């Protein structure tokens, strides 16, 4: 019986970045471990795609502040993936430093330092994913595309606005989807899609390599003084040598008209992606039973809304256009276009507008919160205002360019 293509494919998930632009949300956790959408972590979207695509052999490469990420994978994903009898498993792979004393110097170096794993696994091909993007994608279809085109490397690509080209790798392709040029985060004059001068073909940081090609290229790059990065070094080098490098068009499993793929790498992009979820018809669909997003959830009681004062309408616990997780108690407060993680408590007369409250946040009476991210475990004192006087907020908290106020994890305000 022939092997399934996913049996022959090893999946490596890069989850070790510092996430500096997401500070202070990444002060105590890796970027892929940052909460998203109330009950999820960012890495859950990549792992759910892996599960739904039939990926069987997974390694998650960690590095900075990895404890909460490792704990989340252990609790939520080990029970789903790990079945050695069926050849399914997920392993966490911290830096082994087999090639020297340095931590990972770039995306390519992260794979190079784990050649030992490739030698043990001996896969026919290697799929490399990022653990910090929000999207739905069938990786099996990309592997099939790679095989059908006899490619040595396949890069998943998505059309992006020209203004975003300086944030991504930009591919230039011929009519057969073969990549003939590659610009890594071009600061000016990015190559646009033929016939579409306002959009470029952006790399999603998702790669499928033939294993022998990957090993040869990384070994060569390791001997050179480079950034040891796929976009800056490996891909352009392969194109220059005439290797068969193809662009696989992104097919969104959200089944929306416009493909949804987000790199929530800044506080503002993270905030906007979260707040989109509370709209009437959000671009990202959490409620799709055909392509579900999974996560680990602790045991909490159902969410509860309390009418805390008979005859006093201002003490009616209510949530308007909001996402409310389990374990939340809204006791006489009002939520508008907000996202509440588990075990949040909102007390009487408080008013929360367009804000994200993470696990265990407690909002005191008469507090007013607007356009804010309140990280885990913060207690907001009675009568506090956040988001109404940004100059005052800047003295105590972090305020982004767009005016989003971020209160760091477990910050003492009393």
Q: How far apart are CA 237 and CA 223, in angstroms?
A: 14
Q: Taking Cα atoms as reference points, which of 240, 189, 209 lies closest to residue 107?
A: 209
Per DSSP, helices labelled H in 60-152 are 67-76, 78-81, 107-112, 115-121, 139-148
Q: Which single residue is written with the structure tokens 């790498």? A: 265
State both tokens at 256.
Answer: 């929306």
State both tokens at 404.
Answer: 């989003």
CB atoms within 10 A of CB 148: 10
pLDDT value of position 383: 96
pLDDT value of position 127: 98
In this structure, are residues 252 and 259 in contact, taking their beta carbons and an 8 Å threshold? yes
pLDDT value of position 1: 44
95, 26, 135, 150 alpha-carbon torsion, rounded to 10°: -20
pLDDT value of position 192: 93
pLDDT value of position 29: 93
In this structure, are residues 208 and 6 in contact, taking their beta carbons and an 8 Å threshold? no
Q: Whole-model pTM?
A: 0.94
pLDDT value of position 138: 97
Question: pLDDT digit of tens for each residue in the chain (414 aa)?
Answer: 456 899 999 999 999 777 789 999 999 999 999 999 999 999 999 999 999 999 999 999 998 889 999 999 999 999 999 888 888 999 999 887 666 667 778 899 899 888 888 889 999 999 999 999 999 999 999 999 999 999 999 999 999 999 889 989 999 999 999 999 999 999 988 999 988 999 999 999 999 999 999 999 999 999 999 999 999 999 999 999 999 999 999 999 987 778 899 989 899 999 999 999 999 889 998 988 899 999 999 999 999 999 866 666 678 889 999 999 999 999 989 999 999 999 999 999 999 999 999 999 999 999 999 999 999 999 999 999 999 999 999 999 999 999 999 999 999 887
- Please name each of the domains of the chain with its CATH number: 9-276 (3.90.550.10), 304-407 (2.160.10.10)
SS3 category, 113: coil
pLDDT value of position 193: 93
Pairing of strands 329-331, 345-346: parallel
pLDDT value of position 184: 92
Contacts of residue 334, Cβ cutoff 8 Å, sequence gap at least 6: 316, 317, 318, 319, 320, 350, 351, 352
Q: Taking Cα atoms as reference points, which of 134, 106, 154 lies closest to residue 9?
A: 154
Q: Taking Cα atoms as reference points, which of 172, 131, 126, 118 lies closest to residue 49?
A: 131
Ordered strands of the 356-357 beta sheet: 323-324, 339-340, 356-357, 372-374, 405-407, 398-399
pLDDT value of position 149: 97
Element (H, E) at 48: helix 43-53
* C-alpha neighbours within 13 Å on the C-beta side of residue 57: 19
Q: How far apart are CA 388 and CA 372, in angstroms?
A: 10
DSSP 164-230: GGGGSEEEEE-TTSBEEEEEES-SS-PPPBTTBTTEEEEEEEEEEEEHHHHHHHHHHHHTSSS---I
CB atoms within 10 A of CB 308: 18
CA distances to 9, 102, 194 from 95, in Å: 22, 9, 42
Q: How far apart are CA 191 and CA 198, in angstroms?
A: 10
Q: Taking Cα atoms as reference points, which of 192, 182, 189, 186 lies closest to residue 236?
A: 182
């Amino acid at each position: 019986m022939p092997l399934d293509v996913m049996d022959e494919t090893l999946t490596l998930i890069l989850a070790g970045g510092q996430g500096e632009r997401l500070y202070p949300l990444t002060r105590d956790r890796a970027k892929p471990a940052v909460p998203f959408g109330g009950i999820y972590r960012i890495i859950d979207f990549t792992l759910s795609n892996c599960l739904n695509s039939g990926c069987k052999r997974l390694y998650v490469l960690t590095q900075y502040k990895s404890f909460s990420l490792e704990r989340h994978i252990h609790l939520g994903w080990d029970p789903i993936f790990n079945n050695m009898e069926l050849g399914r498993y997920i392993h966490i792979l911290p830096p082994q430093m087999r090639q020297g004393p340095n931590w990972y110097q770039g995306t390519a170096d992260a794979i190079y330092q784990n050649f030992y794993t490739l030698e043990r696994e001996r896969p026919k091909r290697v799929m490399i994913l990022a653990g910090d993007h929000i999207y739905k994608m069938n990786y099996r279809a990309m592997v099939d595309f790679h095989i059908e085109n006899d490619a040595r490397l396949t890069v998943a690509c998505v059309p992006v606005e020209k203004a975003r080209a300086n944030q991504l790798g930009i591919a230039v392709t011929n009519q057969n989807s073969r990549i003939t040029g590659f610009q890594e985060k071009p600061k000016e004059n990015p190559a646009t899609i033929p016939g579409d001068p306002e959009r470029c073909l952006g790399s999603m940081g998702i790669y499928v390599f033939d294993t022998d090609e990957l090993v040869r290229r990384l070994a060569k790059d390791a001997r050179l003084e480079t950034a040891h990065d796929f976009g800056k070094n490996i891909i352009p080098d392969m194109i220059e040598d005439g290797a068969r490098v193809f662009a696989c068009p992104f097919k969104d499993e959200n089944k929306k008209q416009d493909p949804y793929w987000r790199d929530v790498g800044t506080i503002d992009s993270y905030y906007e992606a979260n707040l989109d979820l509370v709209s009437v018809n959000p671009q990202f669909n959490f409620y799709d039973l055909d392509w579900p997003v999974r996560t680990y959830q602790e045991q909490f009681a159902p969410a509860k809304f309390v009418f805390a004062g008979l005859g006093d309408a201002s003490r009616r616990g209510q949530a308007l256009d909001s996402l409310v997780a389990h374990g939340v108690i809204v006791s006489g407060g009002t939520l508008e276009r907000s996202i509440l993680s588990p075990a949040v408590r909102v007390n009487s007369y408080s008013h929360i507008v367009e804000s994200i409250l993470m696990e265990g946040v407690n909002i005191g009476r008469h507090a007013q919160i607007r356009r804010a991210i309140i990280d885990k475990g913060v207690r907001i004192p009675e009568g506090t205002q956040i988001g109404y006087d940004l100059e005052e907020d800047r003295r105590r908290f972090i305020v982004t360019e767009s005016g989003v106020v971020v209160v760091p994890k477990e910050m003492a305000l009393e």
